[in-house]
Amino acid sequence: MNTSRFLIATCLLLPTVAIADYFDDFTVSGYVAGSYNYLQRDNRFTSGAYNRQFDTEPNGFTLQQAAITIAKQPPQGWGGLVNLIFGRDALALASYGINPDTGIHNFGWDVEQLFLQYATGPLTFIGGKFNSLAGSSEGSDLTQNSNFSASLLSTFAVPSTHMGVRGTYALNDKLSLIAGINNGWDSIRDTSRGKTVELGIAYILNPLFSLAISGYSGDQRATDRTAWGPMGRRDLIDVLATFHATKKLTLVANYDYATQKNAALLDGTLGTATWQAIAGYVNYKFTEQWHISLRGENFSDPDGYRTGVAQNLQELTFTLGYAPIKCLELRLETRRDFSNKKSFVDYNGVSVKNNQQSYAFEALYKF
């Protein structure tokens, strides 16, 4: 090969090698989750609001999620992440401003997360659409949840995602401070024209115990997923504690308290609505293949602002998980919800009860 040809080949090869090296830092992961679910009653309260977030199928099979995440998140420099989901869950998770409807029954799509990242020293900044700090005992990533059905806390008490910017400062390997500003709760744009501030602290005492506290405050439309109506300040405090009692036993507690001003109350007036929730988890791993999870919750909605019924809800969930191979997990679940009001509608649409029973089977394939 003469010199000119060698130089041309080198010039063509070097960009290819550089691009290949750049993409070597990317990770691609995902999962597919399908379920069979049976609800003893209808999936709505007497107010018409859903009483379950994802497991709404009264008696049938559902593609809950097909998700893929592409990420490059180096400890220094630029990176980013995109997380796409498809299936029934996308219809419930999609932020206001995104139309998840595909025209196919029980099948939607959503850009769950999409953000740029820049890290320098102990500081990391992200900007775009990202998961909430609140309610982190459960999330949209089904592989990280110990149960099939979504908790009352994650369904009614807290936001799922935000659109905005967030900065995290790691003081050391145990303590991190978080601050951000965003467009409110589960909304691409801030229809109230007032931003929401988020503050958080994450503390890892030791390998056994960790604590995360986050808060949100800002103007919010009193009626979610609308661009009209009264506005008022919405405040939320979220506390999450995790205790790894042994290598097999993990205990988790998550508490939330929130208020909304200028909320439309059930008596037709505007006032301050409050709600609070507490969820507790007992997760035990027998072997690499077998595990169980017991979840108990209480959700208080005295003004009926979150569920449409002034009520106090409890639920108890038991989940048995089995992983025949590393990339596949099978879950059997039974759950019972209770209310101090007869708020669960029967299938006939007429009679009402104060409880709801469900049974579910989920298959979760990870790649």
> pTM score, two decimals?
0.90
User: What's residue 78's pLDDT?
Assistant: 97
- As a whole number of angstroms, the distance between CA 108 and CA 87 comes to 5
pLDDT in tens, 311-321: 999 999 999 99
- As a whole number of angstroms, the distance between CA 174 and CA 56 comes to 40
Structural domains in the chain?
116-356 (2.40.160.10)
User: What's residue 23's pLDDT?
Assistant: 60
User: What's residue 168's pLDDT?
Assistant: 98
Residue identified by tokens 């099979």 is: 61
User: What's residue 316's pLDDT?
Assistant: 98
- As a whole number of angstroms, the distance between CA 190 and CA 174 comes to 34
- 3-state SS of the chain is CCHHHHHHHHHHHHHHHHHHHHHCCCEEEEEEEEEEEEECCCCEECCCCECCCCCCCCEEEEEEEEEEEEEECCCCEEEEEEEEEEEHHHHHHCCECCCCEEEECCEEEEEEEEEEEEEECCEEEEEEEEECCCCCCCCCCHHHCCCCCCCHHHHHHCCCEEEEEEEEEECCCCEEEEEEEECCCCECCCCCCCCEEEEEEEEECCCCEEEEEEEEEEEEECCCCCCCCCEEEEEEEEEEEEEECCCCEEEEEEEEEEEEEEEECCCCCEEEEEEEEEEEEEEEECCCCEEEEEEEEEEEECCCCCCCCCEEEEEEEEEEEEEEECCEEEEEEEEEEEECCCCEECCCCCCEECEEEEEEEEEEEEC
- As a whole number of angstroms, the distance between CA 39 and CA 337 comes to 11
- Which residues of the chain register pLDDT less than 50? 1, 3-20
- As a whole number of angstroms, the distance between CA 83 and CA 114 comes to 6
Neighbours of 355 (CB within 10 A): 15
User: What's residue 85's pLDDT?
Assistant: 97
291-304: string of b/e by CB count within 10 Å (b at 16+)? Answer: bebebebbbbbebb
